[in-house]
Amino acid sequence: MKICPICKSNKVMLYMGGHFGKYECKKCNYVGNLILEKDEEKKNKKRK
């Protein structure tokens, strides 16, 4: 899961279709190539 480094939202999409290697956060309008990724598998294992 991709996460915005500014607002920690998961509403992150490729900016301009990914042509520039950047991401855009739909919540805070951040645009940049730095993005956080969260591993869903680790989260699910901790819950069990």
Q: Where are the beta strands (DSSP E) in the chain?
A: 2-3, 12-14, 23-25, 31-32, 36-37
Q: How many of the other CB atoms lie within 10 Å of CB of 30?
A: 19
pTM, full prediction: 0.71
Pairing of strands 31-32, 36-37: unpaired
For the record, the structure tokens of 11 come out as 């509403």
Q: Which helix (H) or strand (E) holds 31?
A: strand 31-32
| Per-residue pLDDT tens listing for the chain (48 residues) | 999 999 999 999 999 887 888 999 999 999 999 999 988 776 566 665
